[in-house]
Amino acid sequence: MAKVKSDVEKVLNYVKTKKIKFVDFKFMDFPGQWQHFTVPVNELTAESFKDGFGFDGSSIRGWKNIDESDMLIMPDPATMFFDTFIAAPTISLICDVHEPATKERYSRCPRGIAQKAEAYLKSTGLADTAFFGPEAEFFIFDDVRFDSAPNGTFYHVDSVEGRWNSGTEEGPNLGYKPRYKEGYFPVPPTDSLNDLRNEMVMNLMDVGIPVEAQHHEVASGGQCEIDLRFQPLLKSADQLLMFKYIVKNTAKKNGKTVTYMPKPIFNDNGSGMHVHSSLWKKNKPLFAGSGYAGLSETALYYIGGILKHAASLLAFTNPITNSYKRLVPGFEAPVNLAYSQSNRSAALRIPMFSSNPKAKRVEFRCPDPAANPYLAFSAIMLAGLDGIMNRIDPGDPLDKNIYDMDPEELKDVPSTPGSLSEALKALADDHEYLLKGDVFTEDVINTWINYKIDKEINPMALRPHPYEFSLYYDV
C-alpha cells in the first residue's frame, strides 16, 4: 500500500509541477487494442485511484451487453507517462477494468488476467518472476488503401523503398530499394528508415522504455524492428502497448503509417513477435544449468510444456486469420514444433549470444504482433509451468535447418495449426492448463473462441477473394 500511495503522490505532484491539463486513461479491449477517454486534470484526485471512473462497457469489443454496461476503469499510478502526441499537456495512465457494484476485477479484462498470472506463478513456489522480452516487427508504409463492398474488394499498400517501385517514375527514382528478402541489414541510403526509427527510439526512451537495438528487417517495403529490454510479465505487456502506440504516432507525425499486421505483403517475409521468456526466484535465474544449450532441467521442462500446448497457445499468440499467412515454410516463420540452440528455423530457440546465466532464456518464435500481450504472455507462461509441474520431456533437439530436411525426416515433427480455425479447435480441446489459478476462466476461453469465429473467421469465409477471380472467373 505504501508503494501505491507513493506512486499516487508522484502522479499528483507531476500534474501540479508540469502544469498538466488533461489525463488520458488507456485500457485494453478483449481482442487486443488500446481504448481511451480523457478527463480535465481537475477530475483527478487521490480518491480517483480507489474510486475509478465509469464508462460504457457495452461498446467495447467482446465485453458486456447493453443491459449490464456500466463499468469502471481503475488507473494504475505506476504507469504514468507524458503523452507527447496530444497537443495539450497530457499524462496517460494505463488502467484495469472493474465491476462497479463490487469493485472486483472484471474477468475479461486482459490486464487483470496478466496480474492473476503473476500471482499464480508466486503461489506455485516454483518461481516468483517471469521475464518477457518481445521483438515486435512492423511495416512502415507511405500509403495504404483498402475497401470491401458487396461488388468488390481490394487492398493496396505502398512504400517508397519497396522493390516493386524500382521501375516507378518518382522524379527521380534513386534506385535504393531493398531486394525481396534482403532487407536485413543494408546501410543507408538503401535503409531509408534509419532516422525515423531513431526518432521512435528516442520517444520510447523519453517515457522510460529501455531499448536494446533498432534495425531494418528482412522484407522489402519498410519492414523494421525495435528490440525492448526484458521486463516482468505485466510490465512487459504494458510497455509493448506503449511501444505500439508511440511507434504508430511517431510514424504518423512523419507522414507515414505503421502496421503490426503479420502478413501485409505477398511472397516476402511477414512480421513476427519472437517472445523471450525466463523464470527467476529470489533474484536468481532458473533457466541456466548443465543440460543441452546450457539449460537447466526446469528450462527443458518449460520447453516441453510449450511444445505440448503449442497448437492451443497459437489461438492467443497468433490470433487473427492473417497470422496463418505468415506461418508458412520458407519465410523464417517456424511451422515445425521443435527446439534448438541458435537455429532460427525451430519454433523454440535458445539464444547463445552470452554465457551469463542471467541471459539464459527461451525464445518462442511462432507469435506475431497482432497478439494481445496480456493474454499471450500469460498463456505462454502457463504452458511452461505445466511442463515443469508435469515434467514434460521436450524430446531431442533439432539442430539442423528444418527447411532442408526431407519429408521422411520431418514426418515425426509436429506442425503448427494451418489456420485460426484449427488453433481455436485446439484451444477448445486443450485449455485445462490455462485455468490453473483461475488465471483464465471458461468464460474467457469460450468468449475468445466465439468472438473469433463470429467476428473474424465467418466474415472472411463469406467473402469472395480477389485471387479467386484469377483462378475461377472463366469457369
Between helix 373-389 and helix 233-253 the angle, nearest 10°, is 150
Contact between 193 and 224 (Cβ < 8 Å)? yes
Q: pLDDT per residue over 174-183, tens digit each?
A: 999 999 999 9
Active-site entry in 225, 227, 268, 332:
225
Cα–Cα distance measured from residue 336 to residue 410, given in angstroms and rounded to the nearest whole number: 8
Q: What is the pLDDT of residue 68?
A: 66
Sign of CA dihedral 120, 126, 131, 134: negative
Coil vs helix vs strand at 228: strand
C-alpha cell at 407: 519429408
Residue 425: Cβ-neighbour burial (10 angstroms; 0-12, 13-18, 19+): middle
What the block records as the C-alpha cell of 265 is 505483403
* Residue from 98, 197, 326, 365 carrying the catalytic annotation: 365
Instruction: Choose, from 83, 96, 118, 135, the residue flagged as catalytic.
Output: 135
Helix (H) or strand (E) holding 1: none
Compute the C-alpha angle 462/463/465, nearest 5°.
135
The cell 534513386 sits on which residue?
174
CA angle 12, 14, 18 (to 5 degrees): 130
The active-site residue out of 217, 227, 368, 386 is 217
Q: What is the DSSP string of 275-335?
A: EEEEEEETTEESSBSSSGGGB-HHHHHHHHHHHHHHHHHHHHHS-STTHHHHSSTTSS---
**Cα–Cα distance between 82 and 60 in angstroms, integer?**
25
Catalytic-residue membership of 456? no
pLDDT (tens digit per residue) in 456-470: 999 999 999 999 999
> How is residue 366 written as a grid cell?
511462432
Distance CA 218, CA 343 (A): 17
Q: What tens-digit pLDDT sequence spans the chain (475 residues)?
A: 567 669 999 999 999 999 999 999 999 998 989 999 999 999 999 999 999 999 887 778 888 766 667 889 999 999 999 999 999 999 999 999 998 888 899 999 999 999 999 999 999 999 999 999 999 999 999 999 999 999 999 999 999 999 999 999 999 999 999 999 999 989 999 999 999 999 999 999 999 999 999 999 999 999 999 999 999 999 999 999 999 999 999 999 999 999 999 999 999 999 999 999 999 999 999 999 999 999 999 999 999 999 999 999 999 999 999 999 999 876 667 888 999 986 777 899 998 877 788 889 999 999 999 999 999 999 999 999 999 999 999 999 987 776 677 777 777 788 899 999 999 999 999 999 999 999 999 999 999 999 999 999 999 999 999 999 999 999 9
Of the residues 363, 368, 386, 456, only one is catalytic, namely: 363
All 3 cell numbers of residue 266? 505477398
Residue from 36, 105, 215, 344 carrying the catalytic annotation: 344
Tell me if residue 344 is catalytic: yes
365 catalytic per annotation: yes
Instruction: Find where cell 527447411 sits.
Output: 403
Which residue among 76, 137, 238, 456 is the active-site one? 137
Q: Looking at residue 208, what DSSP letter applies?
A: T
Question: Would residue 56 show up in a list of annotated catalytic residues for this protein?
Answer: yes
* Chain centre distance of CA 460: 22
CB 361 within 8 A of CB 279: no
CB 279 within 8 A of CB 127: yes
Per the annotation, the verdict on 99 as an active-site residue is no
Query: Residue 391 catalytic?
Result: no
Q: Which of 98, 163, 197, 274 is catalytic?
A: 274
pLDDT at 410: 74
**In what helix (H) or strand (E) does residue 232 lie, and over which residues does it extend?**
strand 231-232
State the Cα–Cα distance between residues 242 and 262, nearest whole angstrom.
19
Tens digits of residue pLDDT in 193-219: 999 999 999 999 999 999 999 999 999
Task: Report the C-alpha gap between 382 and 437 in whole angstroms.
Answer: 10
Active site residue 225: yes
Alpha carbons 350 and 413: distance in angstroms, whole number: 18
